Amino acid sequence: MRRIHHALVLNLHQPAGNLWELLEFEPWQTNDVLYAMDRIPRSLWGYEDIARVHLSLSGTLLETLMDPAFQAKMYGVVDCGALLWRLQNLALFRLLGTGYYHPVLPLIPEADREEQLHRWQGLAGHLFWRNDFQGFWPPEMAFSMELIPLLKRMGYRYVLVDSEHVEAVTPMSWHDLVYRPHIARYGGAEIVVVVRDRDLSNAQESGMEMDWFINEVEARTRWCDYEPLVTTATDGDNGGWFRNPNYEANYWGFYRSLLDNARTGKHPIRPTFIDDYLDRYGVHGEVKVNTGAWNTGWHNGHGFLQWTGSQMQKDALKRIAQVSQSVHDLRGQASSSADPETNRLIEEAMWHLLRAETSCNFYWGEAWVDRAHKDMDISLDCVEAGLRHLPL
């Protein structure tokens, strides 16, 4: 029986302060989110021999989960400290790098992209006691080729991209394009591209039966004369299927059934870590990835319309570029021996700027755009104060 390798990827993100806000006004939602996250490692106890899951956790989510005040508040609902400890299980999980504040990276200034990635690596490296994050999850799967040199500088081996935007450079069939890793090149740098199957991911998000999934995967890969890599990626804490507490009616009931059948060899699908697959099978050909994101509830991800559809969204993104220039100018003017207050103001200006870039501030149409402006206002206030501290 020809083996089919399955890479499961789950994105976990909450914007800064959101779980606290929900806790005040809709506490059941905070509980549901935490239960969905806590269910991930609990569902996989006893499956260390075969379960393989890739997780992307935004910096703002990690920030909340590690907050002693939040942990104390939620103790008795979910033990957040224990949850973070369980996610360190290398037999079950691979953690993917991402941007700290979950920005749509191609829409923010180039200098801020590196800040977002550095800050995530700093926090995750400290929290999970490691610095080897081979894979990168672009927030919202928003990717453009110009990100490749940055990702390589940051030490990433591969990046996840959506099948809708991948285009072959080396001539290849559709199934080769989607079910094999490839190389993408830009600006003298190259990175491995791992392709998310959008159709199967849609099914993963909304709910599916095990027999349907097995048959569909086999049908989609039937022309592969190699052991293919099928990658499905969705949020892991949103939607009724992931939040349903009944194992018979949620994703983890489906996944454990898939694992049970895989153990006995009843089907050819085997969970895998992407880095293990790359080590064994390498890459195939070269591709180009057209600029775009994953599909949201109503948009196909082309052109980032979800985050740029209104004039208010566009104006806020334009202002982000202007504020970013001011913050980086201040940092450039301050010497390495600047007084502690100047350094504090630069740091505060920077983190308010980066937080303003959170994708959620733009995802909900115009509903959250004011949050971006509030952070930018604080950032500019810090810049002005910092400038007053500079020597004449």
Asked if residue 335 belongs to a domain, the reply is yes
Better-scored residue on pLDDT, 339 or 355: 355
Same domain, 285 and 315: no
Predicted local distance difference test score (pLDDT) of residue 290:
97
Q: Which of 259, 289, 319 is the last residue of a domain?
A: 289
Asked if residue 300 belongs to a domain, the reply is no
Asked if residue 348 belongs to a domain, the reply is yes
Predicted local distance difference test score (pLDDT) of residue 339:
87
| Residue 392 confidence (pLDDT) above 70 | no
Asked if residue 295 belongs to a domain, the reply is no
Within 10 Å of residue 229's Cβ, how many Cβ atoms?
Answer: 24
pTM beyond 0.95, yes or no: yes
Average pLDDT in the chain: 96
Same domain, 278 and 369: no
Same domain, 209 and 353: no
pLDDT category, 1, cuts 50, 70, 90?
low
Domain containing residue 384: 309-389
Smallest Cα–Cα separation from 56: which of 104, 120, 113?
A: 120
Q: Which of 289, 317, 339 is the last residue of a domain?
A: 289
**Rounded to whole angstroms, what are the CA distances from 27 to 79, 132, 252?**
16, 36, 24
pLDDT category, 303, cuts 50, 70, 90?
confident
Predicted local distance difference test score (pLDDT) of residue 390:
85
Smallest Cα–Cα separation from 228: which of 53, 1, 51, 2?
A: 2
pLDDT digits (tens, 9 = 90+) for 182-202: 999 999 999 999 999 999 999
Q: Half-sphere exposure (CA, 13 Å, Cβ side) for 391?
A: 5
Same domain, 194 and 319: no
Same domain, 285 and 317: no
C-alpha distance across the termini of the chain, in Å: 75
Give dist(CA 307, CA 103) in Å, integer: 10
For residue 103, the domain's CATH number is 3.20.110.20
Asked if residue 297 belongs to a domain, the reply is no
Smallest Cα–Cα separation from 108: which of 138, 81, 82, 75?
A: 138
Please state at what angle helix 311-333 crosses helix 369-389, rounded to 10 degrees: 20
Looking at residues 223-248, what average pLDDT do you find? 95
Same domain, 250 and 329: no
Predicted local distance difference test score (pLDDT) of residue 146:
98
Beta-strand runs (E) in the chain: 4-12, 53-57, 93-96, 135-136, 158-162, 166-168, 182-186, 189-196, 229-235, 269-271, 287-289
Tell me the β-bridge partners of 286: 183
Asked if residue 29 belongs to a domain, the reply is yes
Same domain, 272 and 322: no
Same domain, 268 and 327: no
Q: Which of 289, 323, 353 is the last residue of a domain?
A: 289
Same domain, 86 and 136: yes
pLDDT digits (tens, 9 = 90+) for 100-145: 999 999 999 999 999 999 999 999 999 999 988 999 999 999 999 9
pLDDT digits (tens, 9 = 90+) for 36-74: 999 999 999 999 999 999 999 999 999 999 999 999 999
Domains: count for the chain: 2
Place of tokens 């080590």: 279
Same domain, 279 and 334: no
Same domain, 284 and 320: no
Place of tokens 């392709």: 195
Asked if residue 79 belongs to a domain, the reply is yes
pLDDT digits (tens, 9 = 90+) for 166-176: 999 999 999 99
Asked if residue 153 belongs to a domain, the reply is yes
Same domain, 272 and 353: no
Predicted local distance difference test score (pLDDT) of residue 300:
84
